[in-house]
Amino acid sequence: MPELPEVEFAATRLREAVAGRVIARIDVLHPSPRRHLPPAARRAAAGQAIVRVERRAKIQLIHLADGAVLEVHFRMTGDWAFSRVGDPPPRFERVRIETTDGVCVSLVDSRAFGLMRRHAPGALVLPPIGPEPLTDDFTVAAFHTALARRRGPIKPALLDQKLVAGIGNIYASEALWEARISPSAPAHTVSRARVERLRDAIRLVLERAPAARYYARDGAPADGAPADGAPADGAPADDAWRVYGRDGHGCHRCAGTVTRLAQAGRSTFYCGRCQRR
């Protein structure tokens, strides 16, 4: 699933492609996104200039001149493809936005889980979202207080967007390794000093995140990962990751071995030797 760095990268590309342009039409090419973007919503967006594109957590927001907002969520395998009107459509195109000057932006999504929907002017209400981790709002005090209310393991807690925005499976595993914290540690037992270390680790892994996406255009992860987003057994480890996808390989920091653990239906990777509860 795209996480904060990937969605920020996608939003930047979209902003560069469409900011200031006028929407000529929007076509929905699959039944799934049609539920969220009915014909009336598409007609209302036509003729509107795109004022700006912003990201909040994993959500992209396309602001239109009349005050309406197009909300976009990639979910598992969504991405943008850019072309000119009249070019052959990209594979797995689900929604197409055409501008009056011939730019074509396609929401491509092999699993068709992604969504795009229009919010009328003044009607945008996002779900509760925690602070952006790369801003000053992500304080140690607030982070420690939020974790102190959680009785479950810390790794699944980090995936809750109400706790901190944009963190997903990969960067949660990577940050816990950087902070030397076991993914199984009960969230409420983590000391303030370790929470500070984790806050700094989250920022570190996000800031050094690779620009390239970690799955291929057709939705199949580049390393042959199965549906839950975890690399397949025996797949070569990506040099960008310290633990993610490296189960059975040696830890980059100590003499331990990276282990794979199932948590909340997702694959977690950690070193049991240097990541302590």
Catalytically annotated residue among 42, 150, 155, 266: 266
Burial class from Cβ neighbours inside 10 Å (0-12, 13-18, 19+) for residue 180 reads middle
Query: Residue 3 catalytic?
Result: yes
Choosing from 55, 58, 96, 246, the catalytic residue is 58
Segments in the chain forming alpha helices (H): 4-18, 31-34, 39-45, 140-148, 154-158, 169-179, 192-207
Token pair recorded at residue 51: 């004022």
Active-site hit among 3, 93, 174, 178: 3
The rounded distance, in Å, linking the Cα atoms of 99 and 46 is: 9
- Inter-residue contact 6 to 72 (CB < 8 Å): no
Of 2, 5, 156, 221, which is the active-site residue? Answer: 2
Annotated active-site residue 2? The verdict is: yes
Burial code (b: 16+ CB inside 10 Å, e: under 16) for 54-93 equals ebbbbbbbbbbeeebbbbbbbebbbbbbebeeeeeebebb
- Looking at the DSSP bridge assignments, the partners of residue 116 are 72
* 156: its two tokens: 């699944």
Distance CA 215, CA 46 (A): 32
Q: Are strands 258-263 and 266-271 parallel, antiparallel or unpaired?
A: antiparallel
Secondary structure of residue 182 in the 3-state scheme: coil
Q: Locate 53 and state its tokens.
A: 């594109």
Q: Which residues are catalytic?
A: 2-3, 58, 266
